[in-house]
């Protein structure tokens, strides 16, 4: 049976998309059947995987109910995964969904018919805790939280945990935080302090494989390749591969 994991942080630019697409490709390489859902109107995952290609069918059409999820699925050969792409229209969807019955569980219902075709469904969320992200949370069994370790990261994590609590009490859905991913890692005194505060003050696990900062990660996006093809021996490439194994071996 398929499981669903969301990459969540309302803070922008913390490598949600980068880690989501790269661990997806790594899991696929190891034989898992993966569906990646781009749930961000910015469409970064869609662009990183497919470049400027436009898609007629996207997650927008699925959420508005005009399309079955299976009809929005496209395949990426280089990543070895299935993808439901996003489009900029998604930026206006919250107002459309707001008046719908069961508005928090629209994505979950839409995925029910295809869930069993995949080992893992990965959801790449936008930097927000709005209705789209709440839909991701309701559809998910687990979440992971990528962060760039800095002083304000801990406040951001508190806000996510608060949201999970509201979803548990208000909507009866319990979500497991599988762990925090340290991204764009550079060994600095303040960075080590934030990570050690995280490890001591929170009960959430911190994954041991930190993703080092490397320009090669950005280059791989431009080439529309996963790090495992573009630069597997690069320290960031190796860290992403090891992180994938640490998350789900
Ligand atoms: N390890 C890394 N080293 C260098 N650059 C990185 C690394 N990880 C991510 N980046 C770059 O940082 C930027 C933000 O990364 P990414 O888009 O994955 O973050 P995000 O959390 O998904 O952002 P958003 O909140 O906008 O969705 C991108 O330009 C990406 O290429
Ligand atoms: Mg992103």
The reported pLDDT for the residue numbered 72 is 98
Cα within 13 Å of Cα(106), Cβ side: 26
The reported pLDDT for the residue numbered 110 is 98
CA of 9 to the centre of ligand 2 (A): 9
d(CA 10, CA 137): 13
Burial of 149 (0-12, 13-18, 19+ CB in 10 A): buried
3-state secondary structure of 170: helix
CA of 44 to the centre of ligand 2 (A): 6
Q: Is 15 in the pocket of ligand 1 (CB under 6 A)?
A: yes
Q: Is a pLDDT exceeding 80 seen at residue 249?
A: no
CA of 227 to the centre of ligand 1 (A): 13
The pLDDT tens digits of the residues spanning 63-91 come to 999 999 999 999 999 999 999 999 999 99
Residue of 133, 60, 129 lying closest to 92 (CA atoms): 60
Percent of the chain with pLDDT over 70: 99
C-alpha distances (whole Å) from 170 to each of 46, 95, 156, 166, 175 are 32, 21, 21, 5, 13
Q: Is 239 in the pocket of ligand 1 (CB under 6 A)?
A: no
pTM of the model: 0.98
Q: Which residue has the tokens 């998309």?
A: 17
Say how many domains are in the chain: 1
Average pLDDT (220-242) is: 98
The pLDDT tens digits of the residues spanning 184-210 come to 999 999 999 999 999 999 999 999 999
Structure confidence at residue 21 as a pLDDT band (50, 70, 90): very high
Average pLDDT across the chain, whole number:
96
Distance from chain centroid for Cα 5: 7
> In CATH, what number is assigned to the domain containing residue 179?
3.40.50.300
Q: Which domain holds residue 18?
A: 3-247
3-state secondary structure of 18: helix
Percent of the chain with pLDDT over 90: 96
Burial of 181 (0-12, 13-18, 19+ CB in 10 A): buried
Average pLDDT (200-225) is: 97
Burial of 109 (0-12, 13-18, 19+ CB in 10 A): middle
Q: Is 12 in the pocket of ligand 1 (CB under 6 A)?
A: yes
The reported pLDDT for the residue numbered 1 is 64
């Amino acid at each position: 049976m398929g499981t669903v994991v969301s990459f969540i942080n309302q803070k922008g630019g913390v490598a949600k998309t980068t880690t989501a697409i790269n661990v997806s490709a790594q899991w696929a390489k190891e034989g898992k059947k993966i569906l990646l859902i781009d749930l961000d109107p910015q469409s970064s995952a869609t662009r990183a995987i497919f470049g400027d290609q436009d898609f007629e069918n996207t997650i927008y059409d699925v959420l508005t109910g005009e399309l079955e999820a299976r009809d929005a699925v496209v395949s990426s050969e280089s990543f070895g995964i299935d993808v439901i792409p996003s489009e900029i229209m998604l930026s206006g969807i919250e107002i459309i969904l707001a008046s719908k019955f069961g508005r928090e569980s629209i994505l979950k219902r839409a995925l029910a018919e295809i869930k069993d075709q995949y080992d893992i469904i990965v959801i790449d969320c936008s930097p927000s805790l709005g209705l789209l992200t709440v839909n991701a949370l309701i559809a998910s069994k687990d979440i992971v939280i990528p962060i760039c370790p800095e002083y304000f990261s801990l406040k951001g994590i508190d806000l996510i945990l608060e949201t999970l609590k509201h979803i548990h009490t208000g909507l009866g859905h319990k979500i497991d935080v599988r762990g925090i991913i340290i991204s764009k890692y550079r060994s600095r005194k303040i960075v080590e302090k934030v990570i050690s505060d995280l490890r001591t003050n929170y009960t959430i696990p911190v994954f041991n494989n930190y993703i080092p900062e490397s320009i090669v990660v950005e280059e791989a996006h431009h080439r529309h390749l996963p790090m495992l093809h573009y630069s597997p021996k690069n320290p960031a490439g190796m860290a992403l591969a090891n992180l994938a194994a640490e998350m789900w071996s």
